[in-house]
Each structure stands twice: as C-alpha cells, then as structure tokens.
Structure 1
C-alpha cells in the first residue's frame, strides 16, 4: 500500500499548524509575498527589518524553510538591514513541483533566487546560504554572476555533493527517502540531530521537524543529485566567506574549504570551534555579529 496519501495528509495538517503558529512568532512588520520562477513555481518570500537598509538574502538548507532564520530575523542587531528570506522550491510555503528534474537541475534553484532578488528590487544584496543554500549560491553565481550582489557567505554550505566533501551517512541518506513513513520520519529526526553539536531546545527542534515534514517527497528523492557548477564561484570578484562549524557532522569542513579555495583562492574562512552544521543557531549572537561585520566590510 502506498504511503503517499498519509504523507500528504500529514503535510496538510502541519501546513495548517504552521500558518497559525508563524504569525505569532513573526515580526508584525513582516511583508509576505510570492514570486513566480522561470518554470512557473511559486516562491514564498518574506521581508522584515529596515526597508531602506542594506539587503541580506537568507537561503535555508535541505528540509528547512524561512523559519530557520528566526535567530537572525528577530535579532535587534540586524534590524538596520533589509532582511529577506524565502522558502526554497519543494519546501515550506513555496510550490512543490511533482517532476524530479525540477530539483535535480541546479539552474532552477538559481532562477528562483534571481527572481527573488529582482522582485525585491535590491542591489548589492549579501547572500547567506546554509547547507543546500550554498549549492544554490554556487548555481546563482554560475548562471548570473556576481554583478548584482555585494558578496556571499556559505554557512556550512555544500560546495559539491562528492564523497570527499560530504560525511558518509549511507543509512541516513537512504532512509530519508524510504517509502515507509515511520522509517522516513525517524530518519528525519536523526538527520536533524546531526545538524547540531550544541543541540537546540525542544521548541526549536519541534519547529525544525515540522519544517522537514512539510518538504516535498519528490524533492527529497531528487535533490541529492542536484547539479552544482563551480565556474561562477571561480570567477566571483565580490567578497566570499566560508563560515563553518568545526564540529560539522554532515560536511567535511577542511576538505570543503580546500576545494572552494582551489576554485577561488580569494575566499575567506571563519571557523566556529563549538558549532556543528548550524552555527547561525548554535552560536546565534556571535554569528549575527560576524554577519553584520561582513556586510559592512563588503559594502564599503
């Protein structure tokens, strides 16, 4: 018997729950709107902070949503910036195509980001991409260049989906796409735990789990084969920072940074000794200070 009807029912329930919870957690001044990508997918966008301030575009990771960035969006330190988040295709409140190529083709993800930047009418925005968000940045740089942005930060970002850069968890990645719902959900919990060296509080973890449960099943099956060209990263002239937690259990930090520097020797690096895969949550105050410093430096 197929598990998909039950899975979709769970998604519908969680979506309804999030639509109730999120407004209570969000800034009252948040502006929500949608843009349409090159292949017709609807992308949900959120803006807060200072509308006339320097723009930061946050790109979440696999099984996440814009809610991953609450420690940044709600930070008093960052309210002087225009804070733009969006839900990746197949995630959160954005559209969820039913064809696998919509997720394997890295150009589609780049187009989504380009449409968000164009619709927001921002110039010299700083891109901040976590995990899968790093692959989105690389695709954007390859297909659009860095002329319209001010710089980019890879936050434990995926540079390439290759064994020399991605930690081996074969059971996890196999069971994340298990056709058995119970196996899948248990593995999602295990995957989320691997994202942290300093484990989040229970409320935060439950929100992250709800994020993951909303993600498209087709996306989860196909995004592990996303194309990630690196020519754009190699040609980038704007500031690029590779910010990683030293205790990352999902990405091989040294090897990933070494690969990025081989492509572009000018990229900077910043390591957090006490963080895993999610330093923007694990050490949020430090991350926010470092982010503000990068923005100010990049836009001088």
Structure 2
C-alpha cells in the first residue's frame, strides 16, 4: 500500500471524542449529530469551561482543555508527536494546584482534533495556536512545548503578536533541525525518518507500542523501571489521532529548520533536555538552540530520557515552577 492510498483511506476516518473524566474513547461517527454538537463545550460545577473546541479558518476543529481561574497566569502546553493534550496531565494538575490557568490543545490531526489530510506542517500548526490564543484572548502567557511541541512553540512565539507571550520553555525539543545535511552534519540521516514512515504505514498500532516500550522513556535501558500503564497511555493517545496527519508530521518535526525562529525570539526561553534522549539526540538540539536564542538558558539532565516529563515529573515540575516565578 503506497502513501497516496494511506492518505485516501485516512481522510475517511472520523474524529474521536474523549468523555470528560471517563477515559472512554467513542467513535464520533457512531454519535447522532446533535450529540456530537453537545460535546463542543463542557463546564464544571462552577460553570467554568474545561473542555472545548475552536474552529480554525480552514474549518479544522482544535480540541483544548482550559482549567483554572481565567485571570490567572496562563500556561499553554504543546504536546509531542503523535500524542495529545493528555500527555501533559501531570503538569496540568500540578500547575493548576499552584494557582495557574493551564491550557493544552490537541494539535490538528492528533487526539480529538480533526483528522486533517492537509495543513500538517509547522506554519499551520503555529497559525492554529495563534487562533487559539486569539480566541482565549491570552496575554503574557507562558508556552511550554515537548519534542515536536517544542518546535511548534518556537515557530509560534517567533510570529506571535506583541503581548501574547511572556516566556517559553522547550523540552526535549526538535529545534534547530533534526535531519542531517551539509549545514547540520550532526543530525540524523533521512533514512531514520523514512523508517518511521514505513513502520507507520506497515503497522501503526505495533509501531506505537514499540516506541514507548523502548527508546521514548528509556525503558530499553538496563535497570529501567518500566511502567506498562505509561506504555499503554502513549499507545492510546497515538491511536486516537489520524494516520495521514501522523505521517505528514514526521516531515514537519524532522525537516523544519527553526534556526531563524530561534534568532528572532526576544523573550526568555528555558531549554531543557535529557542527555540520554534517544529520540531527539542531545548534542544536535538543546545546546545549539540555547546558543541561537537571545535569552536562552540551557538545563541538562544527566541520564534522563526523551519522555522525562512523565518519568521524572517532580524534577521537571520544580524547575518549570522556578522558571515561571523567576524574574527572567
């Protein structure tokens, strides 16, 4: 089966909605139209909107969570490939408890957002974030991105309207650029990403099991404390998204050059990276990004994996909190 056939097949796949607090995925196609419309927004007992969607200019529905006081400092979390806003559950709960307003969205084609067959590249990802920020009227927000989400943060912040963003954090992030070239000799060969695409087409369900069970969380390292729940949660999130969007996003996260974006950013950016990251190799990412940023701070975590926000949340959350509350 070639990529064109995969694209045509995946376009017909409908978006799934996740019931609030239930963790039970329902196929949207199986719901009556009126029931689907009712999921567009959900409020808690105080009447605050906690789950909702925006519709972008091209008609894509972007799912987001918005918890906490609307007049509090806002933190916007951007997830990695091929996951969803749920990957930030620990951080969302922690910073909600610290009095922040916490927001996380499912990138187009991922999670509960529309399974798009077009627009699965960084320019559109950043434009979607801009529309979300406009819809929520976010001012001086802090944007935090992991992996592909780190690239999304950099691409968005470099283009954001004045006053929208105050600080940013990129964690295990793909900038400046992942793929190997004459200008980036330390990058990963294109064959690595071709392998990702081939594995996704051949058996996406198995591929999405192998990644978290192995390199993503460092569970393939000797002595690692393996969590079956974490592996299954990664698989669950991945399989909620669309195959075509996930396929396209491999090019977006591996071949987008964020060099000029990094140079443009004037505000403080914390660059966090584990030096045992097997997904986004440390030497060709974090130190280079920190050097390109005008106000970049590099924080390296010896021995920690790509998914360190999940494996070591207490360490990561404490450092994030210190950065958020710091004067710079």
The TM-score, its normalising length taken from structure 2, stands at: 0.78
Task: Give the deviation of 1:286 after TM superposition.
Answer: 1.5
SS in 2 for 1:275: coil
Of residues 219, 224, 227, the one that matches 2:250 is 224
CA contact (8 A) 1:128 1:152 kept: yes
Q: Is residue 2:297 matched to residue 1:273?
A: no
CA contact (8 A) 1:246 1:271 kept: yes
Q: Which has the larger radius of gyration?
A: 2
The Cα offsets for residues 2-42 of structure 1, whole Å up to 9 and x where unpaired, read as 78899899x77x946xx24x524699676111112232211
Of residues 283, 287, 294, the one that matches 1:258 is 287
Partner of 2:215: 194
Structure 1 pair 72/262, CA: closer, same or farther in 2 (3 Å)?
closer
Partner of 1:173: 196
Write the distance in 2 (CA, Å) between the matches of 1:281 and 1:275: 11
Partner of 1:86: 105
The two structures, once aligned, show a CA RMSD in angstroms of 3.0
Q: How many residues align?
A: 288
Stretch moving more, 197-206 or 231-240:
197-206
CA contact (8 A) 2:274 2:304 kept: yes
Stretches of structure 2 lacking an aligned partner (at least 5 in a row)? 24-41, 181-185, 220-224
Looking at both structures, which has the greater relative contact order when contacts are Cα pairs under 8 Å and sequence separation is at least 6?
1
Write the distance in 2 (CA, Å) between the matches of 1:73 and 1:272: 22
The TM-score, its normalising length taken from structure 1, stands at: 0.84
Write the distance in 1 (CA, Å) between the matches of 2:65 and 2:207: 29
Partner of 1:161: 178
Partner of 2:124: 108
Higher helix share: 1
Of residues 263, 269, 274, the one that matches 1:240 is 269
Stretches of structure 1 lacking an aligned partner (at least 5 in a row)? none
Task: Give the deviation of 1:265 after TM superposition.
Answer: 5.0
Task: Give the deviation of 1:79 after TM superposition.
Answer: 3.6
Task: Give the deviation of 1:172 after TM superposition.
Answer: 4.6
